[in-house]
Structure 1
């Protein structure tokens, strides 16, 4: 085995190679301290390898960070558990669960994306690697379409998807950028879902 391999791998983490170890290490650093200022040196030190070892497994820093960002998102999603299936419970209850999930997800992952705004190459690599249907937004849209096919919803589900995702973005991003537009009060989950289902037009 190469002497440059991390000690943690030399001591018997079965089934893990050095590339996976580096991605996992970088993902843990992203979770703990965000992406702003995250360097190759910091990742290498945390992983227990020399700085140059990273370039034996990744074309560049951007590839490593894009993979680590994807791993961070997966870790957060795995910790949030499963969402209700279409047709289960009431539509109101499942929509509340969807929005609560989205808010919790964005609270954990948006800081990492915000920290990479000055590194568009990383975000481009992340986007290129993403598969259709993989994001929560894709799954939310799929859920709404399934409920419409079941006859439990009607109307423009793409617009509904944009509204729910927009609530998540506004709620979380307004806290990340304190010098941006102020959000005085964020609507509660129940209020958002009631408005989505009932509308605001006078009947």
Structure 2
């Protein structure tokens, strides 16, 4: 093992060098975002030569995708548990999901906006996990389960309801990027009421 590689792993945490590189990149993403983040900056922070990264990742895009996933998982770990189907009220559970989604999107937005000009990274990120792992999929699963339990109407369009809640999160958070188009967001209770009760007379 090269001396610089050995120095990078003198942490006693049992991580492989690949894991160390992902963790280092995730720390940089969390602290500085992804705009202008270079292989050299990651390598220096990790304590390895630039070329070492290519021994463990096919390219910079693969490393950044893994770092993004680690960043999202790290943020999710601070947001608490999501409600279980059949427990508590629908209103409270959807409110918890909405707050979770808002907090998640606010926390990860800086990292993703820096990658708008790098679609390859975003594509790699999307390929890392199968369906069911992200918040949107868990929200869909929750609503479907509530429908199966009979707490939502038999014909409830749960995927559409989930898309509305996800859209509220996107619209609210993305408005921060375009303050000239920002407007007052609907009240949380009004959002939940609209999803559960609709808007017809």
Q: Tell me the TM-score normalized by structure 2.
A: 0.94
Question: Number of residues paired by the alignment?
Answer: 199
Give the distance between the partners of 1:130 and 1:144, measured in 2 at CA. Answer: 21
1:165-184 matches, cutoff 5 A: 165-178=166-179, 182-184=181-183
- Per-residue displacement from partner, 1:165-185 (whole Å, max 9, x unpaired)? 000000001102446xx1310
The answer to whether the Cα contact below 8 Å between 2:4 and 2:47 also exists between their aligned partners in 1 is no
1:64-83 matches, cutoff 5 A: 64-83=63-82
CA-atom RMSD in angstroms? 1.3
The answer to whether the Cα contact below 8 Å between 2:8 and 2:48 also exists between their aligned partners in 1 is no
Q: Partner residue of 2:189?
A: 190
The answer to whether the Cα contact below 8 Å between 1:4 and 1:53 also exists between their aligned partners in 2 is no
Confirm whether residue 55 of structure 1 aligns to residue 29 of structure 2. no
- Per-residue displacement from partner, 1:98-137 (whole Å, max 9, x unpaired)? 0000000011112212211101111111112221101110
Give the distance between the partners of 1:193 and 1:31, measured in 2 at CA. Answer: 31
1:71-150 matches, cutoff 5 A: 71-150=70-149
Q: Partner residue of 2:36?
A: 37
Q: 1:69 to 1:23 in 2, by over 3 A?
A: same
Deviation at 1:39?
Answer: 0.8
Give the distance between the partners of 1:190 and 1:46, measured in 2 at CA. Answer: 45
Deviation at 1:8?
Answer: 4.1
- Per-residue displacement from partner, 1:11-55 (whole Å, max 9, x unpaired)? 242320111011011111111111111111111111111211111
Q: Partner residue of 1:158?
A: 159
The answer to whether the Cα contact below 8 Å between 1:6 and 1:48 also exists between their aligned partners in 2 is no
- Structure 1, unmatched stretches of 5+, are none
